[in-house]
Amino acid sequence: MKKISVIFVLLFSIFFFTTQTDAAGSSQLLIINKKINTLAYYDGGKLVKTFKVATGRSRDLTPEGNFRIVNKIVNRPYYTGNIPGGDPRNPLGNRWMGLEARGTYGTTYGIHGNANESSIGKYVSSGCVRMHNEEIRWLYDKIQMYTPVIITYSDSSFDAIAKANGYSVSTNGWVLANGKWYFYSNGVAQKGWLSQGGTWYFLDNSGVMKTGWVLNNGKWYFLEKSGAMKTGWLLTGGKWYFLEKSGAMKTGWLSNSGKWYYLETSGAMKTGWLKTGNEWYYLDAGGAMKTGWISLSGKWYYLESSGAMKTGWLDKAGKKYFLTGSGAMATGWLKMDGKWYYLYTSGEMAAKTTINGYILGEDGVWVQVDYVALGDSLAAGITPDGKKDLGYPDYIANNFKKSYDLLDFANFGVSGYKTADLIEQLKKADVQKEIKAATHITLDIGANDLLPVLQTNPAQAPEVIGTVAANLNTILSTIDQLNPKVKVYVMGYYNPFLHYPQEQQAPLLPLLEGLNGQIKAQAIQHGDTFVPTEKVIAVNFKEYLPVPESIHLSLTGYQALAGEFWKVMK
């Protein structure tokens, strides 16, 4: 009996001292604050992690005070409900850490899992402390036997609670509390920007590590789920943003990897059309600014090397295009600054060609004509019966209308005009104005100088022809001074005596040829074009000169005359 007693005392002593050694040597501490239903796990004097928990339905059910973990059980049965361990219905979950509390030794009060995850954070238990099953499994593997446990109902911080209970703690580094991360330095929660391991974090005024968008000193930053400050491209909420090396969100133009992008004032990357600084730009689906030709909704646009949308004329690879005010490439007929152009379906401007009968010049312009007619009754359109009708200039004007852009047509022909009359006419302001603007001038003058002499005193004809030549020189010189670039066409007269017998015509024809010879000489001298009409009228003179006593043509005669002009004018 004495031997048995000695052995019992020895075993009790070993158990007693072993227990005291485990508790004393432990660097771990658990604090449960029922006021916020949160469990804090300390190791080595530092707060490691916090967890939400469920406690008693009333404050008195979960004991308060200093306790310790006295047993750890995996899949403890729920004896009250006769539910085996590991059963999903077991309200203890699959981990149990028993507390020595209120005279019990880990059998009544404990920290355990649950069969109802939604109960965590609430006051629902009969006295135990419930945790999420995943979290209790994590903590179970860390906690040593006889780890001290403080249960309280307090407004103090966990560090303050630990120190008030005689534990020396000094939290440094990251701490997860109530699902939020904090960073401590010598027990003090840090605020503002924090650099750790080459990564920047931001902690708000409560010390909570921020994630997502943060506005600081007027600039926006983005913190990832890990809290790390983001730099470079960011896709969030279906939109792209760019964070500079400083982390600040970029707005406005951005050059990145050889491409230009535009970030709106919200920071969102712009796509599609953009107007900024009175210029339009186009950003593709990837946000990159486009240059050169682009096709959108069936229309072509051109973006310059700066990205700005081009409007107006564009010279590209030796071809000309026109971009409208909307930037869309024009096709078909286009009127610009009073001039007509034609753009093929490719957008290329047509030049030096004919489109649907309309003549386009080398500059692409539908050739514009400002036509002035000067002369006597033939220009005025006097018919054989002495009435005024269409003269040859009217038919020339109609021809211009068919293929050219006829801006103006002014007919200053006056019946009976001689060369001297025309010289005086050229002094008039309205006539000079028209000549200065003209592109083409037709002229018939001199017949009225010669014909009266032929009828009364043919011997004076050579002198009159000389006067005509001199006056014609004055007329053409005046035109040259008023408009050096105008094209002038000077008519040679037809034989108006075709109804006369040959013997009557014979002495007149040399004089008529002399007149035409001087007219032609003056035209050539001034770089103008001489238009002979003798042959065309002679071919059908009975139709063209239906009244033998009249030198004036029929309408078909004037048309024939206009045809001779048109051969050289078109």
Give catalytic residues, as residue numbers: 112, 128
DSSP letters, 160-218, are HHHHHTT------EEEEETTEEEEEETTEE--EEEEETTEEEEE-TT-PBP-EEEEETT
Return the closest-CA partner of residue 134 out of 36, 49, 33. Answer: 49
Q: Which residues pair with 305 in a beta bridge?
A: none
- CA 132, 138, 144 angle in degrees (round to 5)? 120
For residues 203 and 183, the answer to whether their CB atoms sit within 8 Å is yes
DSSP letters, 67-91, are EEEEEEEES--BTTTTB-TT-TT-T
C-alpha–C-alpha distance, residues 216 and 196, integer Å: 19
For residues 302 and 321, the answer to whether their CB atoms sit within 8 Å is yes
C-alpha–C-alpha distance, residues 120 and 139, integer Å: 16
Return the closest-CA partner of residue 154 out of 146, 164, 145, 144. Answer: 164
Whole-number Cα distances in Å, 540 to 22, 492, 544, 556: 140, 18, 6, 10
R_g (Cα) of the chain, nearest Å = 55
Q: Which two tokens stand for residue 445?
A: 């003058």
- 447-456 vs 508-525: helix crossing angle, rounded to 10: 160
Residues 6+ apart with CB under 8 A from 69: 30, 97, 98, 99, 106, 111, 143, 144, 145, 146, 147, 149
CA atoms within 13 A on the CB side of 303: 22
Q: State the Cα torsion 129-134-136-142 to the nearest 10°.
A: -160
For residues 43 and 28, the answer to whether their CB atoms sit within 8 Å is yes
Cβ neighbour number for residue 225 with a 10 Å cutoff: 7
Return the closest-CA partner of residue 261 out of 230, 282, 234, 239. Answer: 282
Q: Which residues pair with 192 in a beta bridge?
A: 203
- 555-569 vs 392-403: helix crossing angle, rounded to 10: 50
For residues 302 and 295, the answer to whether their CB atoms sit within 8 Å is no
Name the DSSP class of 121: T
C-alpha–C-alpha distance, residues 379 and 109, integer Å: 127
Residues 6+ apart with CB under 8 A from 561: 378, 392, 395, 491, 494, 533, 536, 537, 553
Tell me which residue has tokens 């090397």: 305
